[in-house]
Amino acid sequence: MTRGTFYLHYEDKADFIQRTLAEIMSDFFEHVIVSADFEDHEWQFSEEGQYKLFSVRKAFEYIEDNSSTFDVLLNKYENDSFYKELEGRLSQHLTEFLEQTKSMRASVEPDQFSAEAMSEDILVAYTVSAHIGIIKLWLLGGMKYTARYMTKSVEQINESVRNRFPGTSFFTVE
């Protein structure tokens, strides 16, 4: 690409970087957000499902396929704007999921811990940070575990806390 062509499409280097990061982020979320309905006390995945969930399996597979990009952006990039954007998008999706499922959770889990019992922003921050932290650790460790192993590990962790915080239902294995 020549300098002239570059400036036809981008204002400057910062604009190029910002647009590239936005494109990576959009592509990631297009791959990992899945639709589902909640029927008979379990998630039924379908293209037209009314709930949007985060597929841990698809996330690990996507990151595995694009590991050098994600390693640079999450662990080596001098500016943490990608991390903040990822954290913000996950937090937004999780907050929307919690709001959308509030009445359903109250009827399904009336005696269990509910997100309403404490500050939602703390619960969202904790859950999102934990998931991003595991991804960062996996990349820093040279991805010595497979995406499948990481998916199973995260699912086991989520399952162990699911009764205490239903927000982990947003992170599914699908």
Decide yes or no: CATH 1.10.357 for domain 3-172.
yes
Give Cβ neighbours of residue 58 (< 8 Å, ≥ 6 apart): 31, 32, 34, 174
Structure tokens at 167: 């927000």
Rounded-to-integer distance, Cα 64 and Cα 33, Å: 17
CA distances from residue 42 to 28, 46, 158 in whole angstroms, order as listed = 25, 13, 15
Q: How many residues does the chain have?
A: 174
Tens of pLDDT, residue by residue, the chain (174 residues): 666 565 556 566 766 777 888 899 999 999 999 999 988 878 889 998 999 999 999 999 999 999 999 999 998 866 688 899 999 999 999 999 988 888 776 665 544 545 456 688 888 999 999 999 999 999 999 999 999 999 999 999 988 876 666 566 777 767
Q: Which residues pair with 171 in a beta bridge?
A: 54
Q: Where are the domains of the chain?
A: 3-172
